[in-house]
Structure 1
Amino acid sequence: MASFAGIFFPLSEAVASPKYEMRGAWLVTAYGIDWPSCQGASRQVALTQQSELDSILENLHRAGINAVFFQVRPMADALYNSSYEPWSGYLTGNRGTAACYDPLSRCIERCHALGMECHAWINPFRVGTRRPSTSLDVVTRDLWMTNRVGKSTMTIFNPALDETRRHLCNICREIATNYDIDGIVFDDYFYNPEFIPEDERAADWKYYVAAAEAGQSMADWRRANINRAIADVYAMLSTVKDGKIRFGVSPQGIAGANGVYDCEGVPSLPSYGVVTADSQYDKIYSDPVNWLKEGLVDYISPQIYWTTDNRRHPYGGLSRWWNDVAEMYGRHCFPSQTIASFAKNNTPDQWNETFRQIELNREYSFNYAPGAVLYSARYIAGKYGPGFGKALHEKIFKAPALVPPMRWKGKSRHLEVTGLSLSKSGRLEWTAADDARYVVYAIPDDVDDADAQSSGADGIDSTYILAVTYDTSYTLPAKYRKGYRIAVTPYDRYGIEWQPTYL
């Protein structure tokens, strides 16, 4: 434990800002935590919400964020135009009351205009502490199960039901088909530990008795239900848009199944200085190692919400363990980090803790694919962490970064920018290459091509990136119209960057 607890990584010796890195931010809509600050269905409220959202996204972009995890289904509801679930009361004030605009469309449009990815964040099973009763809720009510402990209740979709998994797939398919999203991400709401006994008191007991295999414990049966749901969604997404939509899950920060995978070479947590057991395996029936092992996710974003000097579960040891396991199974690891402490301690010392964690992610990642997802947006782009976004950009996210490529997809095809031209007004234009994004570079004339190449990744170094754009045009700032060589590369939806075309 001593090798990780209390670790200090001086910022002056930081790992260089990498060309490929997930730089995500969770944007929470439940309870209006990050957005929106006001609810209602009127045009005036909608305009206020849109202005707030635009401002948040612009500030995230200034801080160096390249992917926004936008919560669109907090509690079996929708912040988008859904055929399956009611409009969210967190948006309009009343569950089921329609909004006069589509927040997901707005978020995607603004993210893409700023060159950022937009991932639709979905809570897969949670309904809430109260059983809602809109017309769309009535349709799915038979899929719910409610467990009670004393006077407390929690209702979730029953993961044991085939109909629940179909419903979840239908929701994800509709979002993936109807919206130009870059990813879908689940959080860690599976079964609920406080409300889920493993005996005849459980709301799903009769389903276990009817469906479990001979000798299968209720815990194993529940884990199998969650695993099937993850597998079904991943299989479905592989058939939509040629599998270009990135799928990830953000589980709790400690995993490992308490030694279940030791015989397969998965390292033990104590060898990384972590002495806390994996509670998610036994309490919410979540088994992230299985999802990585079976190739059911493109990335894992474990919620490592502890500091680098924590003695029982230090950030460094957990980041290294997760990265090692993800690498073992050929997938990406982008740890989630909490910055909620800024609400009470918004100081440079506290910021440095976050910076050290990002640097540790970089040190422990493989194949030029580090990443971090910060919880949450209001501490980067809102009033709760003033100054942090600017410091994040200046100290850690100095140069732009591309989200790491999903090379295991195997469906990417060669792309090339053609017809590149520059008008007298400074407008770059080119011909579309499939549905790719593009990276625009400006290389000083006194830097030759060899020296402009990235030393830690393929292609041109990220210090020369001017913009990532989803359009086939870009207005070149006046200072780059002379004395620079301009290049544009296709950057496909799998995250693979192709060869540059020079002006």
Structure 2
Amino acid sequence: MKKLKFTFLLFYFLTTVISAQAQRETRAVWLTTNLRLDWPPNTLDENIQKNRLREIFKDLKEKNFNTIYFQVRSNGSVMFNSDIEPFSPYFTGVAGKPPSYDPLQLAIDLGKEFNIEVHAWVNMIRCFAGSDERILRNPKHLRNAHPNWTVMYLDENGSLSYWLNPGYYEVQDYLVNLLCELTSKYDVDGIHLDFFRYPGKDFEDAKYFDTYGFKMSIDDWRRNNLTTILRKFKEKAKPLNPFLKVGATPIGVRSNLKGATGWEGYSTVFQDTETWLREGLVDYLTPQIYWNFEKNPRFDILAKDWVDKSYNRNIVLGLAAYKDDVIPELNQMIEYGRSIGAAGVAFFRYEHISGKKNNFYSDIVFPPNMPWKVSDNNFVPENINCTFEDLSDDEVLINWDNNHAIKNPSQIKFYVLYDNTNQKTISKIISLDKRSAKLKFANPSKLAYNYTIGKIDRLWNEVNLSNPILVKVPYLSELKNASQVNIHPILITQKSSEVLLSVHSFSNQKAFIYLTSIENIPRVEELELSLGTNIIKLADNIKLIKSIKINFESDGREEVLNLF
């Protein structure tokens, strides 16, 4: 190991490191395939399509997102291999003709590679809207295969759409069978239901309701029709995939509140979301709260109402990342959601957070816990033994030995490397076939770090944890040994662009640093010192500092340094 060169100065460090608090939350985005809004790109070249999807997953991974709502059904066509409905025309240009690859399977594979959950986003009741009528000419489309199941609807703007009538038992079973086909064929992390509602009160189903003499109001009947679909799906889906997360995205106003009035989910489009949550028919809801903090309907009032009536299920706040009056408040919305106990947020839609825009998350977190979901209680505690070795002055190799064969490998996702130095935070996610991980300490803030290796199951829960290991940064350990006898600060120029400081404190205490720049601009820093030697990277440019005075709170020491 090379020897370090030291320069001795009466000096002190100017920066502290704040460790992000460990947490779990949904960080989701809707990836829209309808009309090629987010993906696939406007080309029939399959290689370009596949490469673009990889770029999207990579971008979201770098932004520390953990969930994608991947649209697989819109306008009565699908983006997966189905025996029930025709394939979307957006991949080959022909409705009913799939590409040579499977788009949903590709998304699932990329999700596993980048450790992002993939929820299959399904448009449920609406089966056509817009001007692209290619799909309507396919004989398998619902308007052709089952015209009596569909209702034509004109909205207030005169736009035409077709909707299924969920009052028909055949329609309920059709949708449940479609969801079960999806669940049985694909190892998706979740099912995400959209347009799971009526278009409005003037839906033409009164004749059917009157004919069969249902003993409830038509409003209650409509709400029950949607809820019945969920009940049927829950019964059939659990044996297919006990880990499946079932969610829905209702409209943002559940019922009118003071300061938050508008189109109501319960009374206008007949979404009985409280029953869905109370009966455990959904694991999460992502209400579309597409407004800001100031205007009616107010975001904060609606968000609090959803969280307060969650029945211990997850509420993920849907954010309108495309609205000019919402964009400046997105970070505030994330923080507000955390403060009221929301399970996270989802951004509509990918285009509006893509590229270099809007970096909301600086750390890795897992999706929220769902303690009501089944988990394998038969995991046998296994010893994961960790060691480490120095590779260079600033790089170490962590090794672990998991001699036991992984039981139920389909239920395990990966290993995770935790940094427990301050608080338990995720340092790296590591695939199950690995037994080592390299760590490079480019800008170390401590002499040593405390790490553990954990094994994570399908629901992102920790099932095994290794022994803790104390990893010492090689060149800082050498520095500490060389400077233990010095009670005055030491300035170390390790590299031309890097300045390290070693400072000895006689106790855990605060220090106040008064800095004056060469332009005579003063600044005060308050720092927390630990007993013994403290070593940290200096952020300020040493050439711009004129003088420094350091006051140690507990022992009353004062150090003064005049650099000019």
Report the Cα distance in structure 1 between the residues aligned to 2:150 and 2:431, rounded to whole angstroms: 43
Report the Cα distance in structure 2 between the residues aligned to 1:89 and 1:428, rounded to whole angstroms: 49
How far has the Cα of 1:495 moved from its partner?
3.6
Report the Cα distance in structure 2 between the residues aligned to 1:211 and 1:491, rounded to whole angstroms: 52
Question: Which moves more between the two structures, 471-480 or 18-27?
Answer: 471-480
* Counterpart for residue 124 of structure 2: 124
* Counterpart for residue 292 of structure 2: 307
- Assess if the C-alpha contact under 8 Å between 2:126 and 2:195 holds in 1: no
- Assess if the C-alpha contact under 8 Å between 1:111 and 1:118 holds in 2: yes
Structure with bigger strand share is: 2
After the TM superposition, which residues 408-427 of structure 1 pair with which residues of structure 2 at under 5 Å, given as runs?
A: 408-415=372-379, 416=381
How far has the Cα of 1:231 moved from its partner?
1.9
Question: Which moves more between the two structures, 301-310 or 482-491?
Answer: 482-491
Within the candidate set 428, 432, 451, 2:406 is matched to 432
> Using a 3 Å threshold, how does the CA distance of structure 1 residues 255 and 25 change in structure 2: closer, same or farther?
same
> Using a 3 Å threshold, how does the CA distance of structure 1 residues 20 and 217 change in structure 2: closer, same or farther?
same
Report the Cα distance in structure 1 between the residues aligned to 2:74 and 2:174, rounded to whole angstroms: 15
Letter in 1 for 2:337: N
- Assess if the C-alpha contact under 8 Å between 2:413 and 2:458 holds in 1: yes
How far has the Cα of 1:351 moved from its partner?
5.0
1:387 pairs with 2:364: no
* Counterpart for residue 329 of structure 2: 353
Q: Deviations over 1:457-503 (max 9, x none)?
A: xxxx22x4312x56443762342799655533232223432341247
How far has the Cα of 1:140 moved from its partner?
4.1
Letter in 1 for 2:160: T
> Using a 3 Å threshold, how does the CA distance of structure 1 residues 30 and 234 change in structure 2: closer, same or farther?
same
Report the Cα distance in structure 2 between the residues aligned to 1:330 and 1:210, rounded to whole angstroms: 39
Report the Cα distance in structure 2 between the residues aligned to 1:370 and 1:99, rounded to whole angstroms: 36
Letter in 1 for 2:214: E
Report the Cα distance in structure 2 between the residues aligned to 1:477 and 1:381, rounded to whole angstroms: 30
- Normalised to the residue count of structure 1, the TM-score between the two structures is 0.77
> Using a 3 Å threshold, how does the CA distance of structure 1 residues 429 and 89 change in structure 2: closer, same or farther?
farther
Please, what is the CA RMSD of the aligned residues? 3.0
The 3-state SS of whatever aligns with 2:106 is: helix
* Counterpart for residue 490 of structure 1: 455
The 3-state SS of whatever aligns with 1:127 is: strand
Letter in 2 for 1:337: L
Show structure 2 runs of 5+ residues with no match. Answer: 1-17, 390-396, 470-564
* Counterpart for residue 176 of structure 2: 169
Higher RCO, 1 vs 2 (CA within 8 Å, ≥6 residues apart) = 1
1:73 pairs with 2:38: no
How far has the Cα of 1:330 moved from its partner?
1.6
1:145 pairs with 2:150: yes
Identity of aligned residues (%): 25
* Counterpart for residue 443 of structure 1: 419
How far has the Cα of 1:419 moved from its partner?
6.2
- Assess if the C-alpha contact under 8 Å between 1:23 and 1:66 holds in 2: yes
Letter in 2 for 1:500: L
Q: Deviations over 1:173-222 (max 9, x none)?
A: 222222121111111342222xx626xxx2x33321233423x2222211
* Counterpart for residue 84 of structure 1: 84
Q: Deviations over 1:124-166 (max 9, x none)?
A: 1221145724243268424631224497532122211222222
- Assess if the C-alpha contact under 8 Å between 2:418 and 2:428 holds in 1: yes
* Counterpart for residue 364 of structure 1: 340
Structure with bigger helix share is: 1
Within the candidate set 21, 35, 53, 1:31 is matched to 35
1:375 pairs with 2:348: yes
- Assess if the C-alpha contact under 8 Å between 2:334 and 2:344 holds in 1: yes
Within the candidate set 361, 366, 391, 1:402 is matched to 366
Q: How many residues align?
A: 428
1:180 pairs with 2:150: no
How far has the Cα of 1:56 moved from its partner?
0.9
Show structure 1 runs of 5+ residues with no match. Answer: 1-13, 259-268, 453-460
Within the candidate set 306, 312, 321, 1:330 is matched to 312
- Assess if the C-alpha contact under 8 Å between 2:262 and 2:297 holds in 1: no
